[in-house]
Amino acid sequence: MAQPTPAYHASAVAMGGSGVIITGPSGSGKSDLVLRLIDRGAKLISDDYIHLKADPAGPIITAPANIAGKLEIRGLGIVNMPFQDGVTARLLVRMASDAERFPGPLPLIEFAGFALPTLAIDPFHQSSPIKIEWAIKTLVDHDRPRVALTTDDTDFHP
């Protein structure tokens, strides 16, 4: 019997062909940041929970079926919108009010068994969506996927 795919507490968008996973505690601003990224041309993958599947190109992000195409907009409720599924993760964004001013290269941080380039960002700064766009552009322009499976188990399937 196949094991159910685990759901991870995170939101995700597609920017170009790159998936961005956004993590943080409940109420930290993930959905608000997703909404602002969508306003700038990103496509919703999933809000609040995601599935990840191991792939040689990197983790593939999909939405759990029961929340696919749904986004919580605080003050309005849950809205339906177009979404994109099956996008390779290229960046992990971590909600942080204490983001460094000059952090250097994006560090690789483990998330769900994968090491991903990670940007710490205050989600409520007006420039946060633009900073995420620049981080993706930098990774794509320099062809630096820098994604690695962080387990030695060849049967690992997050």
pLDDT at 51: 96
Q: What's the pTM value of the predicted model, to 2 decimals? A: 0.86
Give the mean pLDDT of the chain. Answer: 86
pLDDT above 50 for 156: no
Each residue of 98-116: pLDDT tens digit? 777 776 788 888 888 889 9
pLDDT above 60 for 96: yes
pLDDT at 151: 45
**Taking the C-alpha atoms of 10, 42, 72 and 3 in order, what is their torsion angle to the nearest 10 degrees?**
-40
Q: Please state the domain extents for the chain.
A: 8-149
CA distances to 108, 113, 151, 157, 158 from 154, in Å: 21, 12, 8, 9, 12
pLDDT at 100: 72
Question: Per the CATH hierarchy, to which homologous superfamily does domain 8-149 belong?
Answer: P-loop containing nucleotide triphosphate hydrolases (3.40.50.300)
